[in-house]
Amino acid sequence: MNLILLGDVMLGRLVNRALARGPAESPWGDTLPLLRRADAVVCNLECVIADGGRPEPGKMFTFRSDAANVAVLTAGHVAAVSLANNHTLDYGADALLECVDVLDRHGIAHAGAGRTLEEAQRPATFVAGATTVAMVACTDNEPGWAAGPRRPGLFYVPFSGNDVRCDELCAVISSVRPDADVVVASLHWGPNWGYEPPREHVDAARRLIDAGADLVFGHSPHVFRGVGTHRGRAVLYSSGDFVDDYAVDPVERNDQSFLCVLEYAGGRPGTLRLVPTVVREFQARLAAGVERREIEQKLQRLCAALGTEVHLTPDGLGWRPGD
């Protein structure tokens, strides 16, 4: 199985405006052939896809993309999305539920938000090749949006301290383990900036792998972080921004990221590849030349700081269990 994971995909604001004039494939830029060759693509959907709802009063940044733009996801071979993030309820519960219905109608699995806490905790399950994948998604952002027994919202899990909700997340991971070949823990966590994962993220990632996760897929920071490992499983502490319309910080370079290609054989993790990308004019594009080398070198430094050795490959960086 060949699975691609992308960081934050934000299709609102100026991206939404560009989509009104251009094809649904355009946000993927020249990464599209890679996406379409994968058995499945997974991303964090950093906006609500809906036509209804009103922006959250007082919230500085609110992201909504027209319901028709679900075609972007289908064009990019996206099989599942994480909805557990700080923009899913930007336009209220009605828009969230509309988004869930739109995804369901188009056969895109989703996790991390829903009509109730039970639904928000439910994994996104899909088949990639001959492999069954289950993705559980949660966030430590927006505690006021936490779902309840009869309240729409997010699967909210704080990772600082010894909060019982982290135990609940581990229990959810363990419960889906028997029914899936591959279990992904998708975590929208931490602040917007910083290249070093907080200690509580390192501890939580290890707990989740011990509970049965095959991969920890982190996002939320606008910059990418290094890849860690635990018991032969990879931890993507931050996958960065993949598509958006954000202003670019000249130092932090939030326009630089990667797409992660994971290969599994018989349900066991194999090669992991990190392919450098950049955001240009509301598109994801493959990094080239000096910029590609800059991203590769930064990734190598960040991975080495976490004790992970990655190797140069023809299209980026590679790692395999046992390295």
pLDDT in tens, 91-120: 999 999 999 999 999 999 999 999 999 999
Is 84 within 8 Å of 113 (Cβ atoms)?
A: yes
Return contacts of 177-181, CB within 8 angstroms, 24+ apart: 177/211, 177/212, 179/125, 179/132, 179/134, 180/123, 180/125, 180/132, 180/133, 180/134, 181/131, 181/132, 181/133, 181/264, 181/267
Higher pLDDT, 321 or 73: 73
Q: What pTM did the predictor assign?
A: 0.97
pLDDT of 322: 63
Q: What CA–CA distances, in Å, run from 310 to 217, 221, 226, 299?
A: 18, 22, 10, 9
Is 222 within 8 Å of 246 (Cβ atoms)?
A: yes
For residues 52-64, give the mean pLDDT.
Answer: 96
User: What is the average pLDDT value for the chain, to the nearest integer?
Assistant: 96
pLDDT of 157: 97
Band of residue 47 on the pLDDT scale cut at 50, 70, 90: very high
What residue ranges define each of the domains in the chain, with the CATH number in brackets? 2-319 (3.60.21.10)
Helix, strand or coil for residue 47? coil
Is 37 within 8 Å of 89 (Cβ atoms)?
A: no
Q: What CA–CA distances, in Å, run from 52 to 90, 214, 265?
A: 11, 37, 43
Band of residue 161 on the pLDDT scale cut at 50, 70, 90: confident
Band of residue 162 on the pLDDT scale cut at 50, 70, 90: confident
pLDDT of 228: 97
Tokens of 117: 């806490």
pLDDT of 323: 62
pLDDT, tens digit, 9 for 90 and up, residues 175-227: 999 999 999 999 999 999 999 999 999 999 999 999 999 999 999 999 999 99
Is 228 within 8 Å of 203 (Cβ atoms)?
A: no
pLDDT, tens digit, 9 for 90 and up, residues 247-274: 999 999 999 999 999 998 776 777 899 9
For residues 155-170, give the mean pLDDT.
Answer: 92
Render the burial of 53-74: b for 16+ CB within 10 Å, e for the rest.
beebeeeeebbbbbbebbbbbe
Q: What CA–CA distances, in Å, run from 80 to 4, 108, 120, 135?
A: 11, 5, 14, 8
Helix, strand or coil for residue 248? coil
